[in-house]
Chains A and B, each alone.
Chain A
Amino acid sequence: MSKAWLSPSFLLYCMYKNEHIFGVSLLMRAIIHVDMNAFFASCHQAENPAWRGKALLVAGDPKKRHGIILTASYEARQFGVKTAMPVWLAKKLCPHGIFIQPDHSLYLAYSKRILAILRSYTPLVEPFSIDEAWLDVTGSQRLFGSAEEIGRQLQQRILTDLKIPCSVGIAANKFLAKMASERQKPHGFTIIRPHDIPTVLWPLPVEEMVGVGRKIAPALNEMGVETIGQLAKMPTPLLVSRFGVMGEILHQLANGNDDSPVDPQALDTAKSIGHSTTLPRDISDPEDIARVLLSLSERVGRRLRQGGYSGRTITLTVKDQNFITTTRSHTLQEATCLTETIYQTAQNIYRRHFEPWRKVRLLGVAISNLQVREEGQQLTLWDQSTERLTSLTEAADKIKDRFGDYALQRASLCSKREDKSDSPVT
């Protein structure tokens, strides 16, 4: 049998046309973007079949002043409910809706199971947030079929195994794949091929482009750019002079070019770790503030240690009763991963920079200047408290790793433990 069809000119033709041989693309990468639909609401509906097909609204507790809609199920969205809408307005639009409080450990558990499914197709999975991820399946197509088949398979598996609907976008790079998954929701399936760019991508308004935010969109409109197509045809120097490096990147993206790799470690290489909380009521009592700072520092410290990091710069964020936000930071002589050190530093920053009479609405603690924690510990003379604290922290972390984060708690934080129930808000 002749193998004339394998001639170089034919292969070049295939590369040019991006045709598939044995279902494998020759030139281009095959990137899949998976985006869960109404993720928080979907998780609750998956857990509780009684809520399926109903208008379910996940919202913060208005009594604790987290009174906005975090996610609304698609059934609720029909009534005009949108994310970040105040609860009172959502109740007006959708009075029969079921309002529940978020349960982040539930979402995390589902997210982990979804990632496990995705990783069964390729190790090149880059989680983008709790409910989104990219997969580079260029090399997996010989094992599992074409990118399209893989996309269909994983969408189906996530739906049947976990009862979570998702939208899938497939393209040759991360940007186009994400743009594709955004096209159709819920349960969408979109492929953007290079020749689709002028017809699918370009007519879209620039606001819908990944990377164009609230600040850039109006500026682009001012320049007369309304659609992605217009952006793609703008001269690059003009964009660079207006937006700097970002201008060049936007121009490339608008033309469908994005060579950023799918990086499985992207989320791991953190630049800073922080937590913040809006308080149930404005506080100014130093003891209350100390307790909140300790609880935030504990969460920051735990995540820091889990990632194997230590950090030097502690930043405290304070929003006062007048919604004025101030951040102040302090850089330590030596990097730390200890809750106590983070807490003491945050406390000192608070005492030094904030008047005690100021009523506080939100507090945040973050640590940056991160470095990978080192092997070995320098021993010290006289003051062995750091050594002892390190051993104590290591032991406590081991217990938490085995029995869960709530297995061991600081006594001072016990009374203030948050209610974790999912009971409907009435």
Chain B
Amino acid sequence: MRLSIPKQLLSDHLQVVAKAIPVRSVNPVLEGVLLEGDGEKITLTATNLELGIQTYFTAPHRETGKVVLPGKIVEIIRHLPGDTVELEINPENFATLISSPPAEFQIYGLSAEDYPLFPEQQPELAQCSFKIKAADLRRALRQTLFAVSHDEGKPAFVGVFFSLAHETLTLAASDTFRLATTSCTVQSNSTADFLVPGKNLQEVLRVITDEEAIIEAAVIQNQLFLYCRNTCISSRLIDENYPQINRVIPKSFIGTAVLDTAAFTQAVERASLLAEGSNHVLRFSLNHEAMVIRAASKYGKIQEVVPLELTGEGVEIAFNARFILDMLKIVEGEQCLIEITGPNQPFILKDSLADNYLYLVLPVRIS
């Protein structure tokens, strides 16, 4: 197979699939990128068996053939000097000549026979499908992803829970210390619940960057497929039960506080400099005058006052500074709302600009 491809085109597509190349794998063929030409289009595929990314572009030549090129190909193509890349693949031994004068690479490719098949996409078997604006999905992911657990010992919590009910898609993520949940409108007529690994969704955020695009999504046989223009992402689903979210969200509050997002964020950032230990404890004292944030460590202590508008009762409570900061970083509105449920009881944080968003965070109990 001989190809002559604009360098930028090839490089851009390689950058997309590169997100799924495993750094190290027991199967060396997985550490590469599968390049296939079917006479009409060139398809690139990479997978770490958890996450697969496939992307294609129209072939300039009616050539057919396939090869697995090592992961290094991504950087090789990016660094080529010319505007066009000549690829010549020897079907006998998969040696691939990559030339872009004055550079010429001879790369040892591998047989595509050993490359795992991309998960089958049979729309008729779909358990559910929906269409969502890329901007909406990206926002929902940003609002929830940070709350997933990284503890493989809690297999359900390393995933983001997707719940599709007709026109509404609800996302929830939790590491059991806090819970972030949001919902957005989608085009769909199915109902389904599924659990997607947070790690894979992190890559989805990196691959789907075009806010204008419309994403078509489908769950087919334990895989979530996301189609966005020429790219298809497939993620394995987590086969675990996710606990009831609504059960843990308090319905009644003893008080509600409204704060300026910027002032609150900056105060917590400063106070967290002295938040000690792995719990990063910050003490909050809310009353009708203000919110007082305190932290103490062996290096000293800090006290900071943030103005607030409080209706109902205040509270004395302690939280992990990181948990509060994670949420404040994604707040879009100028104001941030806190719903107080009592001492040693969770806070519910809300964003004045995101009606459907809710962040529940559990306190640190101080004796």
Contacts and interface: CB of A to CB of B under 8 A. Distances in A.
Interface of A: 332-335, 371, 374-383
Interface residues of B, number: 25
Given A333-B150, A333-B151, A381 B279 contact: no
Contact of B243 (A333, A378, A382): A382
Nearest to B281: A376
Interface in B171-207: 174, 176-179
B177 A381 contact: yes
Interface string B356-367: 000010111111
Given A374-B281, A376-B365, 5 more contacts: A375-B281, A376-B364, A376-B367, A380-B176, A380-B177
Contacts of A333: 150-151, 153
Q: Please indicate which of the listed interface residues A332, A376, A377 has the most CB atoms of chain B within 10 Å of its own CB.
A: A376
28 contacts: A332-B153, A333-B151, A334-B278, A335-B278, A371-B278, A374-B276, A374-B277, A374-B278, A374-B279, A374-B281, A375-B367, A376-B281, A376-B366, A376-B367, A377-B279, A377-B364, A377-B365, A378-B177, A378-B279, A378-B364, A378-B365, A379-B365, A380-B362, A381-B177, A381-B179, A381-B362, A382-B243, A382-B248
A383 B362 CA distance: 13
A324 B295 CA distance: 51
B55 interface: no
The 8 closest A-B pairs by CB, nearest first: A333-B151, A379-B362, A376-B364, A374-B277, A380-B176, A376-B366, A382-B243, A377-B365
A269 to B, nearest CB: 16
Contacts of A378: 177, 279, 320, 362, 364-365
B257 interface: no
Contacts of A381: 174, 176-179, 243, 248, 360, 362
The prevalent SS among residues of B at the interface is loop
A378 B365 CA distance: 6
B323 to A, nearest CB: 9
Interface string B58-99: 000000000000000000000000000000000000000000
A266 to B, nearest CB: 21
B217 interface: no
Contacts of B281: 374-376
B179 A379 contact: no
Contacts of B276: 374
B367 A382 contact: no
Contacts of B153: 332-333
Contacts of B364: 376-379
Interface in B129-188: 150-151, 153, 174, 176-179
A335 B360 CA distance: 24
Interface in B308-367: 318, 320, 344, 360, 362-367
Q: Please indicate which of the listed interface residues B151, B177, B278 has the most CB atoms of chain A within 10 Å of its own CB.
A: B278
